[in-house]
Amino acid sequence: MQRMNGRIQVRPEIARVEAYVPGESLEAFSARTGVPMERLIKLNSNESPYPASPRVAKALGSYGQYNLYPDPDATALNAALAGYVGVDPDYIISSNGSNELINVLWHAFLGPGDSVVTSPPTFSLYTTATTLAGGEIIMAPRRENFDLDVAATIAALRDDTKLIMVCSPNNPTGNYVPRADIEALLETGRIVVVDEAYIEFAGDEALAESPITLVPERENLVVLRTFSKWAGLAGMRLGYGAFPLWLVPHVRKLQLPFEVNLAAHIAAHETLADLPFLKERIRQIVAERERLTRTLSSFGFLRAYPSRGNFVLLELTDPRLSLPEFRARMEAAGIIIRYFRTPDLARHARITVGTPEHTDAIAAVLTDIDNQLNAMAAPAETAPATVAG
């Protein structure tokens, strides 16, 4: 039911907005396809395939004061986060997932008639948040290899543009944005928001040159991070960001009291106290990303895009293989990956990097598809049916 009656209505921008569609849950996938839950391989939400640091569960189990609220100012948490990223704690705001900071920032800056410039394909929440706030999203084109095009981004700015949204590494294409590009965007004087949800997978050099350390010098730079991906804590919901000092009190006003739950406070401390363990996990995932990319590239019917995140974008390039056929093959094997509804990604899918066994399972499905495509090319009398199977 969209509306109650003529007099009682939600705001028009809420009625207009397309709800953000997260990756399908195990439960929903199993109910839809009939594949039992224990056979599923979930690679559709860029979660870590590995559990969090073992210190997290231990500390959560032994903590005895869940009857009390957490520190509303998150003083110790923000100090620990600040130490991790290398800025003063005054610049840090923590949140219930970084999604929440996107929502809050958008409400801080956007109203009807305002716009946000971003570069598709990118994280769809930026569009959802813009429409919700009553604003308009302006799409600046990327280069052919999906790299950010700084000149095109600057050319797309209008007088009413309040935010430039940059995702680095970009979900779902995996492109990293060098610091010099961010600096060029900062020169426009607009608020530049850099979403670094996947920066830990981009390599030590990228982490070291992250624009997050520029925040204290720039009045128009916000950098967002999360524990959802590299720390294996997506379910715990812990995001944070570095904000210019003048903006911090405004964003805090828009957050609810006790924004970050106590379990997430504890999980963050234990994670940051166990960085060598997490670094080894990141190393494993990056190595597996490279193996997954090589595996995908070895099949002639698709193109795999090089990625700096914990996911790989692929594009079906053989016209004999449709996306619904490809999807049906993956789903029959219990492999859940991400498909898109936008026309620019009509023949694409994004695979989260999993364990070596997950990559092997994907390779087995792709080998089957490859065999069938090869058989289709063979003389008619030996060719079996179709790939749809």
Residues 295/362, Cβ–Cβ less than 8 Å? yes
Residue type at 36? P
Q: What does the alpha-carbon distance between residue 326 and residue 140 come to, in Å, rounded to a whole number?
A: 30
Q: Which is nearer to ligand PLP, 301 or 305 (CB)?
A: 305
* Residue 44 binds ligand PLP, judged by CB under 6 A: no
Cβ atoms 71, 260 nearer than 8 A: no
Q: Which is nearer to ligand PLP, 259 or 370 (CB)?
A: 259
Do 182 and 212 touch, CB atoms closer than 8 A? no
Contacts with 1 (C-beta within 8 Å, 6 or more apart), sequence order = none
The binder of ligand PLP chosen from 97, 174, 232, 354 (CB under 6 A): 97
Give me the amino acid identity at 192.
Answer: V
Q: Where are the alpha helices (DSSP H) in the chain?
A: 12-16, 26-33, 54-62, 75-85, 98-109, 125-132, 150-155, 179-186, 204-208, 248-254, 262-272, 275-297, 323-332, 356-377
Residue 254 tokens read as 């828009």
Total of residues contacting ligand PLP (CB under 6 A): 13
Find out whether 167 and 195 touch, Cβ atoms under 8 Å.
yes
Query: 98, 118, 130, 173: which one contacts ligand PLP (CB under 6 A)?
Result: 98
Closest CA to 42 of 340, 335, 350: 335
Of the candidates 53, 226, 271, 359, which one interacts with ligand PLP according to CB under 6 A? 226
Q: Does 123 bind ligand PLP (CB under 6 A)?
A: yes
Q: CB of 99 within 8 A of CB of 125?
A: yes
Q: Shortest gap between Cβ of 234 and ligand PLP (angstroms)?
A: 6
> C-beta of 314: minimal distance to ligand PLP in Å?
17
| Smallest separation, CB 166 to ligand PLP (Å) | 10
Nearest to 95 by CA among 272, 248, 279: 248
Q: Determine, following the binding rule CB under 6 A, whether residue 46 of this chain makes contact with ligand PLP.
A: yes
Interface with ligand PLP by CB under 6 A: which range of 92-100, 243-251, 359-367, 377-385? 92-100
CB of residue 223 vs ligand PLP: minimum separation in angstroms?
12
- Binding of ligand PLP at residue 120 (CB under 6 A)? no
In this complex, which beta carbon is closest to ligand PLP, that of residue 197 or of residue 242? 197
Contact flag: residue 118 with ligand PLP (CB under 6 A)? no
Contact code string over 171-200 relative to ligand PLP, x by CB under 6 A: x-----------------------x-x---
Does residue 234 touch ligand PLP according to CB under 6 A?
Answer: yes
Give the integer Cα–Cα distance in Å for 164 and 62.
44
Q: Which residue has the tokens 């598709």?
A: 120
Exactly one of 99, 131, 153, 168 binds ligand PLP (CB under 6 A); that residue is 99
Q: Which stretch binds ligand PLP (CB under 6 A): 226-234, 292-300, 344-352, 360-368?
A: 226-234
Residues near ligand PLP (CB under 6 A): 46, 97-99, 123, 167, 171, 195, 197, 226, 228, 234, 239
